[in-house]
Amino acid sequence: MEGCSEPQLDAKSKVTSQLVDFQWKLGMAVSSDSCRSLKYPYVSVLLKVADPSGQVKNKSFEMTIPQFQNFYRQFKEIAAVIETV
């Protein structure tokens, strides 16, 4: 995911979905077809998102630990901004 630009929202952007649930778990990749001993930690994330009609869809993805730490930091920043509204 490095090098990808993140979409930026401004005050005029419309919210098209609502976060219903957020779950995460820490995992450890211990081996793969090409490597017998990985010992690579990762975070698996499951988001439940409701579209404007109310239909809930699951979105899942995995991140490295540094990616998750950045993701968490951004969520904290968003929460701080929301509290001021």
pLDDT in tens, 26-85: 998 877 777 777 778 999 999 999 998 889 999 999 999 999 999 999 989 988 998 887
Residue 20 tokens read as 């219903």
pLDDT at residue 1 above 50?
Answer: no
Q: For the chain, which residues make up each domain, given as ranges?
A: 18-84
* Residue 3 pLDDT: 47
Cβ atoms 26, 43 nearer than 8 A: yes
Residue 41 tokens read as 């930690």
pLDDT band at residue 20 using 50, 70 and 90 as cut-offs? very high
Q: Which fold has domain 18-84?
A: Nuclear Transport Factor 2; Chain: A, (3.10.450)
* Residue 44 pLDDT: 94
